[in-house]
Amino acid sequence: MRNVYTTLLLIFAVAILICSYVISKKDKTELTKAICYIMIAAPLTMAAYAAALLATDLMFAQVMYAVYYTVSDILLINMLVYALKYTKVYEMRKWQKIFLLTVVAIDGALLIVNVFTENVFIFNCGKIDDGSGTMFYGIAERGGLYNFHRTIIYAMVVLVVIPLVVKIKRSPAMYRKKFWLTLASLIIIIAANVVYVVTDISIDFSVATYGIMAVAIYYFNVIYVPQGLVEGLLSSSIKNMDDSVICFDVDGNCVYANSVAYAFFKTVEGVPITSYLNEWLTGRKLSETSDTEWKESHEIGTLTMHYSKQFKRLCDADGRCVGCFFKFHDETEDVKRLEIERYRATHDRLTGIYNRDYFYERVNETVRKNPDAEYCMVCSDIKDFKLVNDIFGINKGDEILTAIAKAMMNLSTGKDTIYGRLSGDRFAIFMQRRLFRKEIFLNAIDSLSNLLGSTTYKLHVQVGVYDIVDKDIEPSVMCDRAYMAITTIKSSLTTIIAHYNDDIREATLEEQKVTGEFSEALGAGQFCFYLQPQVSVKEKVLGGEALVRWIHPERGLVPPNDFIPVLERTGFICRLDMYTWELACQKLREWHDKGYTDYHISVNISPKDFYFTDVYKTFTELVERYKIPPKSLRLEITETAIMTDFKKQAVLIQRLREYGFCVEMDDFGSGYSSLNMLKDMSVDTLKVDMEFLRKTENPERTRTILKMIVSLSKQLGMEVITEGVETKEHVDFLTEIGTDVFQGYYFAKPMPVSEFEKRYLADLN
């Protein structure tokens, strides 16, 4: 019996060692490493015990038994490491590891020492019959310290069992199996060892279970249980997933369908779930059908359901078809969400009609599809809509915009009609030209005029129409042309609809020509510096107002009215103004160097200058750079520019005056001037245009007002300059009421600086 048992132990041990070597090369995870250590320690324990049983020498037998007991300790240490890594319920602290290793080291040392002492304090070997008449060296006597070794062994077994029991208690039911199997293998070893201890059996057959345990731990933890868990998890996932899943075998039999699939076929599909594959194949062979995906929509009552469907063949390791499965994913919510997002991306949130970008896109598509059709672009604009929001509130403003959108929907009849909100209070309709009826639009606009619900305020909507001739231009340009038509009636309270025509086109082209040539003209010195003399009541020239004339190389003298308004609208006026200011300072420096220190030059500051330049910094740097007194450079500011931001401009003007500049308020009386403005703002000079006298049917009343303005200016300590003086009568009247300085054609027209110097400065040489 001994020989058979030891032979089996050695064969089993070698086999396990070979397996552990192969496993360690293929799989290097932390858990597998821990199991491999067990698979090394277990066969070594078995081999040591087999060697002890086969020993023919007493000393050799005692050494092998000592090795057997020591390696058993090492095996249990590896078992403990594995259990802790496997369960992850506890992590040993450093001192605990040191204590455990110390105890095991002491036990191993005692076992080795026991071999070489005559006193039996752990165990002693002697001849024992294996029950079949064969004698071998077995454990014949156990000393007092044997219980120390046994205590260590059982204590470590308990330490291995505890984390497994805790993990079993804490884990979900489907995970408990893998921990139970490990615990069961330990229980078998313990039971076999207990049987050996309490009976008179001479050979410890429980040693063989060490190898069985090592193999079982590897198989159940690395192969069988994980594979079962994967299958269980997949089964649970499929069962609980929101998609319909149906599996068929190679013969077309339904072998699995989750609950979602049954519900889907009950409410959506028109065929039984068991025959769906045959219906879907319709004569095709399953083995020859390729994997595919597609989308389908199903009507269920009043609802439309959207599904993404997938078919996939299942093949074995040899590539032979063994079945297939279908997966149906409900995309209804995704489709609805996408439709909502697309709607939000293409529609105006307030009014619900197309937004600007999508409106342009739809117009482009329509023009491309119907290149021969005749269309027009109709754009609307609410006059002073900002005032509506200020007076009646944002909510009322939104209500008006929504009402205009509804009116546009009612007007947008016929094929290819598209409407949208471009921005703010601007709307547009793209329609076939033959469908545009002026009277229909006028009626609609008239109904909109009372939306404010006020007898005092009326909503004033104006419409521009562009009959599309050039279909290659962008829709944005079409709308721009319609709005250009509106600009021609902007100041009218009676004209509602305006059409874009050749005159507007020519004006637009001229504006583009001006802006296109401006930079080159400025750099080439085509803008010439002119001065118009300013004369005192004693007819003495005090200086002049700086003006600019464009001397074009091809068109000659370009009238100021042909380019100044364009430059003001586009913002280029700022560059021209700064160019003029620089020339004025250069000229003043030149005059001062020649001794003409009593002359001044007045320069204009346009409203755009306040937005695009730092006026204070620019003028102070100019006079410092050219070293001229600030009072010689007079600054003309229109009251329109002042009133755009009265408080801010009042502070700026005061700073300029404190620095030493003389500030003139230009065009006083022709804009928004008021006594309240004079009360709160200090300037040095009021500049009154004689057009103030000519633009009225009651000249006497206007003369009276002018007298009062001059008188008031004197009392406020302000100088008065009157420009536009053209007759002797003007001079006499203005002198009589106390005007200080004259400027106008009666004295001189604007002239080149060289002529001004020749005429007025030469007399002082």
User: Does 669 have pLDDT greater than 70?
Assistant: no
User: Does 174 have pLDDT greater than 60?
Assistant: no
Give the integer Cα–Cα distance in Å for 588 and 608. 25
List the structure tokens of 625: 């750079």
120 — pLDDT class (breaks 50, 70, 90)? low
CA 504, 505, 509, 515 torsion-angle sign = positive
221 — pLDDT class (breaks 50, 70, 90)? low
Question: Where would I find the beta strands (DSSP E) of 586-642?
Answer: 600-605, 633-638
Task: Determine the average pLDDT of the residues in 717-742.
Answer: 90
Provide φ and ψ at 2, rounded to 5°. -60, -45
3-state secondary structure (DSSP) of residue 36: helix
Quote the distance between the C-alpha of residue 555 and its chain's center. 53
240 — pLDDT class (breaks 50, 70, 90)? low
Indicate whether this model's pTM tops 0.85: no
232 — pLDDT class (breaks 50, 70, 90)? very low
Q: Residues 6 or more apart from 372 whose CB is under 8 A from it?
A: none
CB 168 within 8 A of CB 176: yes
Quote the pLDDT of residue 712.
Answer: 86
Q: Which amino acid is at 24?
A: S
Give the integer Cα–Cα distance in Å for 434 and 431. 8
26 — pLDDT class (breaks 50, 70, 90)? low
Quote the pLDDT of residue 498.
Answer: 92
Residues 68-95 have pLDDT tens digits of 888 888 888 888 887 887 777 788 888 8
Enter the DSSP assignment of 624: H
Q: Per mean pLDDT, which range of 211-215, 255-259, 439-443 is the poorest?
A: 211-215
Residues 646-668 have pLDDT tens digits of 788 888 999 999 999 999 988 77
119 — pLDDT class (breaks 50, 70, 90)? low
With tokens 């006594």, the residue in question is 675
Quote the pLDDT of residue 166.
Answer: 85
3-state secondary structure (DSSP) of residue 719: strand
Q: What is the mean pLDDT of the chain?
A: 83
Q: Which of 736, 723, 665 is nearest to 694 (CA)?
A: 723
3-state secondary structure (DSSP) of residue 583: helix
CB 719 within 8 A of CB 686: yes
With tokens 């998609």, the residue in question is 243
Residues 336-359 have pLDDT tens digits of 888 888 888 899 999 999 999 999
509 — pLDDT class (breaks 50, 70, 90)? confident
CB 639 within 8 A of CB 673: yes
Quote the pLDDT of residue 223.
Answer: 65
Residues 274-286 have pLDDT tens digits of 788 888 888 788 8
Report percent pLDDT > 90 for the chain: 27
Residues 3-23 have pLDDT tens digits of 777 777 777 778 777 777 777
Look at the chain and count its residues: 765
540, HSE (Cβ side, Cα atoms, 13 Å): 7
Q: What is the DSSP string of 390-449?
A: HHH-HHHHHHHHHHHHHHHHHH--STT-EEEEEETTEEEEEEEGGG--HHHHHHHHHHHT
Q: For residue 441, what are the CA distances in angstroms to 387, 398, 688?
A: 24, 21, 44
CB 465 within 8 A of CB 436: yes
Task: Determine the average pLDDT of the residues in 702-730.
Answer: 87
